[in-house]
């Protein structure tokens, strides 16, 4: 499977990663090479095989719906790049 | 008397219990040791000597009051992906360089309750993606056996710190071999417990269906002690198991007579170094001499597909888990942006290193419209086949043994430009995470003076048998007693004797 530059840009957009010119070139080559190594899976017969999402599934944990102390607001906001009062501060999402 | 920095946890515990040494003395010795040796090894991202001495003092008071648990007052280094309240947790990434968690991981909470002394946080491949530590955004940790070689990854700093005598034990995480492989490269014991055995709460998520926390220790008894201390149900991790946690150390008797051991032939892969093969074959012979019944004609036919399964599922889960790094709530945030989308796109451009971008993009691609069935769903189905093959094998055998890595520690720079050759170094460890079973790497011998790890795999939640086989081998061979050149007493090496 060949991943061209166009496709790299499309994936980067979906992944919300900006790339510079040299990265586009490198990822095109490397991702193509990695995908080539995935072709081994085409040879595995999985006709009636169900998928596994996690190993050792045992039961569903049910927790009591009880109010518990949450993290301290000031501790959480201490890591925020932008804040104002009790809130995270971000650039406008919608135009005026 | 043994050098203080090469004691086992159990030996140090005895010294603390009999008051031959205090936790403060022990801790000071390790702080000095780190100061002298870490500039060569580069195992630590953050050192916390003040916290350590405060915790050591508390531990001494506890011990004086007659309250001593196996890990009370014992200095530890924790992988910098496990959240420590008030102590920065970087995942060796620019993205989290200044992130200070507002809470402790459950593992840290448990260790604290047991009287932990935290020396600091260890270096790793960024977000645990890598096999050499070269993907750290800060610096590459060196192998104490040969400073020009990698310590393995991703828990390379954790493994190197123990092998260099910087801590009595360390905590790492294993998503595709990230505890076992560096343990193998540094001649220590690395245990990847069953998926669900140890709570993952507070471990920064890479691939949630594969990640597991475990100990890196000097010997098998220590791994047993640490596992008992950190394992068990946690209501903050819905995949953690309610199975009871045994005192694993009580079950170590080294008697493996009559035990059935299988050797899956697919693990002796093409590209395996011949010297490594010789060491592993000798190890298998040793297990036979110890009374085990060995069958070398075992086949797990889907094993060659495991690499592809892992490098689809891991990146797919990573692409979802790492979506949280958006430059808004915490982590690196690009300034001077015009709009909110640009903040995210550029924060991720400059905050993530090349391997993280590669895996996030690979996962995004495999989950995108038109490719989901061909990659993600197909990999999940092959995952079922791999799980079933292990289950069938464990109907016949108590444990399986194989190499941990197809080669000895490689040179820094040797594989970094070729992702596929780097991924191949994990070929013997990945299937274990895919199936969620427990496995351990134990010092297996040497090739050209470099360590070779013996990997032992067992049924889900049968860490007891797993550890006992490792213990039998360790006691019969004593390879773990051979220390890295940098760990032993040499003038100027910064070794310390108990006072």
Q: Is residue A73 part of a domain?
A: no
The arithmetic mean of pLDDT across residues A8-28, rounded, is 97
Q: Is B79 a catalytic residue?
A: yes
Residue A37 inside a domain? The answer is: yes
Q: Contacts of residue B368 in chain A, CB cutoff 8 Å?
A: 11, 14
* Within a domain: A77: no
Residue B493 scores a pLDDT above 80: no
Residue range B277-302: average pLDDT? 97
Q: Does any domain span residue A48?
A: no
Given pLDDT bands bounded at 50, 70 and 90, which one contains residue B489? low
Residue A81 included in any domain: no
Range of the domain at A36: 5-43
Instruction: Establish if B463 touches chain A: CB-CB under 8 angstroms.
Output: no
What percentage of chain B exceeds 70 in pLDDT? 97
**Active-site residue flag, B199:** no
User: Catalytic residue among B23, B79, B158, B170, which?
Assistant: B79
Counted domains in chain A: 1
The mean pLDDT value for B266-290 works out to: 94
Q: What is the CATH number of the domain that holds A27?
A: 1.10.20
Span B200-210, pLDDT tens digits = 999 999 999 99
pLDDT tens column, B152-179: 999 999 999 999 999 999 999 999 999 9
The pLDDT of residue B494: 41
Q: Report the residue of chain B nearest A75, measured CA to CA.
A: B102
Q: If you compute the radius of gyration of chain B from its CA atoms, what whole number of angstroms results? A: 21
Average pLDDT, chain B: 95
Active site residue B241: no
CATH architecture for the domain at B4-245+439-487: Alpha-Beta Complex (3.90)
- Out of B154, B155, B333, B495, which one is annotated catalytic? B154
């Amino acid at each position: 499977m060949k991943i061209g530059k166009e496709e790299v840009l499309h994936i980067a957009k979906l992944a919300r990663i900006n790339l510079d010119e040299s990265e586009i070139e490198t990822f095109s080559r490397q991702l193509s090479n990695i995908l080539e190594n995935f072709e081994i899976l085409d040879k595995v017969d999985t006709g009636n095989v169900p998928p596994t999402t996690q190993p050792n599934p045992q039961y569903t944990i049910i927790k009591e719906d009880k109010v518990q102390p949450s993290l301290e607001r000031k501790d959480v906001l201490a890591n925020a790049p932008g804040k104002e009062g009790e809130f995270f501060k971000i650039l406008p999402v919608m135009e005026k | 008397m043994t050098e203080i920095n090469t004691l086992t946890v159990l030996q140090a515990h005895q010294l603390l219990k009999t008051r031959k040494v205090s936790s403060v003395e022990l801790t000071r010795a390790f702080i000095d040791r780190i100061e002298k040796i870490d500039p060569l090894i580069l195992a630590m991202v953050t050192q916390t000597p003040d916290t350590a001495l405060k915790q050591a003092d508390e531990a001494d008071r506890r011990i004086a009051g007659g309250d001593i648990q196996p890990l009370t007052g014992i200095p530890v280094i924790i992988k910098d992906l496990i959240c420590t309240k008030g102590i920065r947790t970087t995942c060796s990434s620019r993205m989290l360089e200044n992130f200070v968690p507002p809470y402790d991981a459950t593992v840290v909470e448990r260790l604290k309750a047991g009287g932990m002394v935290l020396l600091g946080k260890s270096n790793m491949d960024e977000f645990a993606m890598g096999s050499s530590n070269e993907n750290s955004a800060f610096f590459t940790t060196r192998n104490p056996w040969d400073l020009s070689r990698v310590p393995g990854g991703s828990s390379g700093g954790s493994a190197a710190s123990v092998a260099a005598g910087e801590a009595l034990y360390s905590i790492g995480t294993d998503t595709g071999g990230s505890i076992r492989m560096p343990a193998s490269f540094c001649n220590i014991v690395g245990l990847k417990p069953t998926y669900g055995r140890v709570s993952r709460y507070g471990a920064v998520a890479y691939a949630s269906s594969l990640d597991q926390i475990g100990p890196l220790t000097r010997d098998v008894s220590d791994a047993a002690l640490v596992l008992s201390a950190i394992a068990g149900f946690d209501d903050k991790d819905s995949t953690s198991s309610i199975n009871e946690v045994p005192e694993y150390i009580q079950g170590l008797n080294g008697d493996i007579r009559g035990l059935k051991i299988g050797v899956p032939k697919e693990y002796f892969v093409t590209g395996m170094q011949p010297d490594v093969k010789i060491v592993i074959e000798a190890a298998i012979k040793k297990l036979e001499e110890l009374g085990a019944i060995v069958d070398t004609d075992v086949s797990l036919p889907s094993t060659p597909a495991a690499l592809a399964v892992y490098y689809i599922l891991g990146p797919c889960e990573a692409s979802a888990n790492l979506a949280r790094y958006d430059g808004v709530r915490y982590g690196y945030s690009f300034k001077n942006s015009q709009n909110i989308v640009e903040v995210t796109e550029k924060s991720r451009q400059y905050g993530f290193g090349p391997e993280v971008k590669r895996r996030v993009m690979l996962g995004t691609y495999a989950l995108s419209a038109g490719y989901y069935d061909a990659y993600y769903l197909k990999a999940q189905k092959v995952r079922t086949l791999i799980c079933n093959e292990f289950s069938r094998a464990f109907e016949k055998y108590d444990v399986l043994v194989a190499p941990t890595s197809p080669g000895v520690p490689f040179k820094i720079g040797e594989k970094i430009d070729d992702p596929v050759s780097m991924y191949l170094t994990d070929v013997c460890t990945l299937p274990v995470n895919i199936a969620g079973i427990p496995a351990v790497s134990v010092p297996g011998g040497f090739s050209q003076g470099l360590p070779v790890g013996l990997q032992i795999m067992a049924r889900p939640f049968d860490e007891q048998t797993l550890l006992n086989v490792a213990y039998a081998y360790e006691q019969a061979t004593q390879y773990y007693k051979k220390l890295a050149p940098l760990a032993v007493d040499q003038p100027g090496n910064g070794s310390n004797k108990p006072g």
